[in-house]
Structure 1
Amino acid sequence: MATPSSSSNLKLLSLDGGGVRGLSSLIILKRLMDIVSPDPQNPVKPCAWFDMIGGTSTGGLIAIMLGRLQMSIDECIEAYLSTMDDVFRRNHLGVSVSGKVRGRFSTKALTRHIESIIEKQNCKGQTLYVPNDDLPCKVFVCAGAIEVSSATTFTSYPSRDGQSSLLLNTKIWEAARATTAARSFFDPIEIGPMKQKFEDAALYLVNNPINEMMNEARQAWARGGDINHRIQCLVSIGTGHPGVGPAGDGLLAVMTTLKNIATETERTANQFMANWRDQLVDTKKYFRFNVPHGLENVGLENSGKQNIITASTELYLRVNAVDSLRQFEANVLRGASVAAPDLHNANLLMGATPVILEDQPSNRLFDSLDDRKEYINRKETEQWRKLTVPAWRIYERLWYQMPKGQPGRVTLAEFATVLTKNELVTETHKFWPMLLPLDRPADPLPKGLAMALLFMLHLRRWIGWRPARPSAQALFILRRFAEWVDCSCGCKRRWNFANDIGLVDERHMLEAARKCPAKTFLDTQAYGMKAELFHRQGMDINVDNRKAWKARRWE
């Protein structure tokens, strides 16, 4: 069932139009879903995480595939590329004998591909609208009603526009065709017994449907009232900052229109940020992802430039989008820490036995930790030095899945609701007291020590480690297991010294190729005289980073 009207912590996804550049949106969304997915081996579908997905033009087509057809990101990319490759082949001139603008590409080919995608998902002949709103997430697409020169929405749920018999009976393929009927590219579509004509809503200044997203969310969950306090996460994904490109076959009016669409898209984004700065932007609830450079010469129909789109988008994710991705991840984790405890704590605090499943996602997530070098640094002989960044990230995901009756701390009973397999429960009871004072062996653990315990369980399972009680100095370090500090050289790498020698997180670097003396020092594993001679600067920065890390207050 879709999220009920009383829902809070809403997660909303808005997708811009952009022709073949919609591939950029999908690559960005794939990165976001990697962050969201608790089990790396079983990525979450967007329809299972977002409460509403909406889009315009190719963004609308993607919204239908992800939301109404419930496709995975990989399935969507495969179908999208196949469609773009076949459809965007030169069909005829973009102007008729009478001088009117007409579609330059095969409308029949586009329709054929859309119908094929729908049939493969066993939804042939179905309407976009679903009675009783019986979908994991709500879906809408924007289109332009030509006769009234106005934008409208086709929805999968009851809405202010969706009560007419026309919109209630529109087939999935018709809604997809309506939202993708970009003038000069494809012919408009006629829908219903009155043959009402629809085309791409980008021509009606709705290429970026972020305002429509807010309006639809208000109607769906707040009856037209205030919605911002119910939003956990609002994601808006663009298709890159485009140039006009070869989009008009010399038709000045069409080229001017396309340029206006590109300008309007970013103007809408900027105006939305200004209007909602206090409620959504400053509170880190709103996220806008859009490739700033590299797609200027990729026209809406340049399906042969997929490599350029992919490379430019991946570079953007590594360099320009680092801070936004970090904030998005914090939003996801914050939402998990707020939502997860409720059901568990109600049972734990009342003394009831929580429902425990052997095959629950948290068990599968822990099972994904094995003895590969990605998760255990076998080059090191000292056990704590075997810690790796990818393993650390999984420990943190498990931490956020634990119910917590006391903020920032987890009891043994709460810890055990996440790792429920018998051998894990047994080892947990053995290791728990090692991290606590002798006179308080059952106290709750703070985040750092709980993550350290997960590391101990991980190594116990795969290399048979039998840890001894850590010394007072070791516990001082382990309490900061969850803490990171920015590199003092300014490269935006982050450092953690829970493994004694230093862990480096490079997801948030300012520049993808920027060198860091401290990282070079760590990679060479130079010590003593060799370090003094060749890596003095890196050694000094490493010392500064370690001091800053030890000075952090632990949770």
Structure 2
Amino acid sequence: MMHNENNSSSARRINVLTLDGGGIRGLSSLLILKDLMCYVNEYVQALEEQQQQQQQQQASDRNNGTAEPSEEAPRDIQPHDIFHLVAGTSTGGLIAIMLGKLGMTVDECIAAYEQLASDIFGKKHLRARLTGGLALARYSASGMADRIRALLQTKELSENLGMHSPSHEDKIACAVICREHQNPSRYSEFLPDAVCICSLQCPTGFDCSVCEAARATSAAPTFFPVQRIGDRYFSDGGMEFNNPSYEIWCHYSQCISVAETRRRSAATEIEDCPGHPGGLDFSEVRFVNLGTGDVPPPDRQSTSNKFAILIPAPIRMIVSLKNKLKKIAVSAQGTANVMRGLATVAGGRFSIQYDRFSADNGVCFIKMDKYRKIPELKVLTTQYLRTPTTQRRLRRLAASIAADYLARQRDRQARPTSDLLSVPQHNANAGRPKVPHSASSSRNAASTDTERSLGNSGAESIVSNTPSRQPSTEVTTPASRSTPGSSPPGTFLDGTDTLHDRNISEG
């Protein structure tokens, strides 16, 4: 990871978690997120121990060699501590609601998700059973809605809780992606653009209940019926927007008038970044995109069946079409490439970092509703997480997130009391991280000190003396490289999917 030591602004960067669609394979995303959070906790603990040792040494020098040891308990960093926004498509949208609106931990999400998969996919709709799977929807819409209401009740929340609810404070701002039908009919064609239903007040957003949003984003064609909200009909966005990262970028990076945003902010107590949709400033953003299985590289794909020539041509055509549709719905590498290429439109206005993790060892071939394949899915995801390349990339990302987190903590402590008092009480106790209004010298100093504590020996060295779930693997980090012809002057993309300014030096 590269840092700008001279003008660091990691305390200002916002973190956005985006989750792909994929049915039961959403569990793979949760397992990856769990591993990432473990690494983040390791790095935060290691960095805090370093800072405490330095403070104790300074206190010891002042007190002639005596200093009381700190007895603070280690932090338990949760997603709402490091992410400003979580967004998803289809099953990723359900997870976004669990993390954001319901404030569930990763372990709670995993347990609830496994139960949800069994309850929903364990019993097909009666019409689907009678027609041999040829019905318009294989599974009941009421079954999905009942499970969402049950989750709300476990958190002592109203089953009619709205996505915009002044009386309820989200752990993380959340958004779900779906598609709207062109005409007020469930059988009409789709409108070309994605619809973003979010918990923040945005110019293009609209309000609905959490249950309606969950149903809309998960209404996968042939799996669940279309969801009606008012006089509009919605289906899940998986076929076109399975990776929601680009749609979320477009939705929140559109600047609107400062006066309009201030008016909305006054009504919803969103005061972070006036002039930006939802109060989120996407000028410096990190996307962490978790997939539900990428298509393996050609050298790892199984060879075609040598007896396929014996299959009649019409059947081969149907099978081929089915495979192509499955790849469109499953593989989000295309959107990932678009995100990597945002340098062509970002210029000097934006600083974008994009990291994608998605098991590419066969997870994508598990059917979206085969909940009995969950044990196999867990094994494949664990194998992916144990590869040296994945571990190295996760550690590098966790080190950067930990540095940003501690920089924000220091920034809050350094803010004048008057600034803290000016924040409404509703937001002062917010669980999600806050974005400072403007850069300050104290923030830059805090961020720079935190990042310098990483040292030049690489992020992996920080946790070399801390207990780890897995043995540390030494892997040489590939040198960053520019992509000729794909980046505007002054920016480049390196091998870590990170957009940098050319004046940034290796940290």
Cα deviation, residue 409, structure 1: 9.7
Residue equivalent to 1:15: 19
Which of 218, 235, 239 is the equivalent residue of 2:292? 239
Deviations along 1:78-99, one digit per CA (max 9) or x if unpaired, are 11100101211352576997x9
Which of 16, 40, 54 is the equivalent residue of 2:87? 54
Residue equivalent to 2:315: none
Cα deviation, residue 199, structure 1: 1.0
Residue equivalent to 2:284: 230
Deviations along 1:472-524, one digit per CA (max 9) or x if unpaired, are xxxxxxxxxx77589xxxxxx9799999xxx9x9434459xxxxxxxxxxxxx
Which of 119, 136, 140 is the equivalent residue of 1:106? 140
Query: How has the CA–CA distance of structure 1 residues 305 and 495 changed in structure 2, closer, same or farther, with 3 Å as cutoff?
Result: same
Cα deviation, residue 406, structure 1: 11
Matched, 1:152 2:195: yes
Preserved CA contact (<8 Å) 1:208 1:268: yes
Deviations along 1:15-56, one digit per CA (max 9) or x if unpaired, are 100100000100111112223334696533322321111100
SS of match in other structure, 1:321: helix
Greater relative CO, 1 or 2 (CA 8 Å, sep 6+)? 2
Q: What TM-score does the superposition give when structure 2 sets the normalisation length? A: 0.60
Which of 339, 352, 370 is the equivalent residue of 1:302? 370
Matches within 5 A, 1:164-243: 167-168=206-207, 170-192=208-230, 194=231, 196-203=232-239, 205-219=240-254, 221=273, 223=276, 229-231=283-285, 233-241=286-294
Cα deviation, residue 121, structure 1: 1.4
Residue equivalent to 1:119: 153
- For residue 39 of structure 2, what is the amino acid of its counterpart? I
Preserved CA contact (<8 Å) 1:89 1:105: no
Cα deviation, residue 241, structure 1: 1.8
Query: How has the CA–CA distance of structure 1 residues 344 and 324 changed in structure 2, closer, same or farther, with 3 Å as cutoff?
Result: same
Query: How has the CA–CA distance of structure 1 residues 496 and 172 changed in structure 2, closer, same or farther, with 3 Å as cutoff?
Result: closer
Which of 95, 108, 123 is the equivalent residue of 1:75? 108
Q: Paired residues, what number?
A: 358
Which of 319, 330, 340 is the equivalent residue of 1:273? 340
Matches within 5 A, 1:366-377: none
Deviations along 1:43-71, one digit per CA (max 9) or x if unpaired, are 33322321111100000000001001111
Q: What TM-score does the superposition give when structure 1 sets the normalisation length? A: 0.56
Please identify the structure whose Cα radius of gyration is greater. 1
Residue equivalent to 2:421: none
Cα deviation, residue 186, structure 1: 1.1
**In structure 2, C-alpha distance between the alignment counterparts of 1:497 and 1:8, rounded to whole Å:** 28
Query: How has the CA–CA distance of structure 1 residues 252 and 12 changed in structure 2, closer, same or farther, with 3 Å as cutoff?
Result: same
Residue equivalent to 1:550: none
**In structure 2, C-alpha distance between the alignment counterparts of 1:285 and 1:127, rounded to whole Å:** 32
Deviations along 1:415-456, one digit per CA (max 9) or x if unpaired, are xxxxxxxxxxxxxxxxxxxxxxxxxxxxxxx959xxxxxxxx
Query: How has the CA–CA distance of structure 1 residues 142 and 346 changed in structure 2, closer, same or farther, with 3 Å as cutoff?
Result: closer
Residue equivalent to 2:327: 259
Residue equivalent to 1:143: 178
Gaps of 5+ in 2: 1-10, 46-72, 184-189, 256-272, 302-317, 417-442, 477-506
Cα deviation, residue 407, structure 1: 5.9
- For residue 271 of structure 1, what is the amino acid of its counterpart? V
Preserved CA contact (<8 Å) 1:60 1:179: yes
| Identity within the alignment, % | 26
C-alpha RMSD of matched pairs (Å): 4.2
**In structure 2, C-alpha distance between the alignment counterparts of 1:71 and 1:342, rounded to whole Å:** 27
**In structure 2, C-alpha distance between the alignment counterparts of 1:107 and 1:336, rounded to whole Å:** 40
SS of match in other structure, 2:86: strand
Preserved CA contact (<8 Å) 2:196 2:251: no
Preserved CA contact (<8 Å) 1:345 1:404: no
Query: How has the CA–CA distance of structure 1 residues 497 and 295 changed in structure 2, closer, same or farther, with 3 Å as cutoff?
Result: closer
Preserved CA contact (<8 Å) 2:253 2:276: yes
Residue equivalent to 2:31: 27
Gaps of 5+ in 1: 1-6, 245-249, 348-401, 411-445, 449-481, 487-492, 512-554
Residue equivalent to 1:515: none
**In structure 1, C-alpha distance between the alignment counterparts of 2:447 and 2:222, rounded to whole Å:** 60
Deviations along 1:236-274, one digit per CA (max 9) or x if unpaired, are 110012599xxxxx79876653332234x2111112112
Preserved CA contact (<8 Å) 1:20 1:303: yes
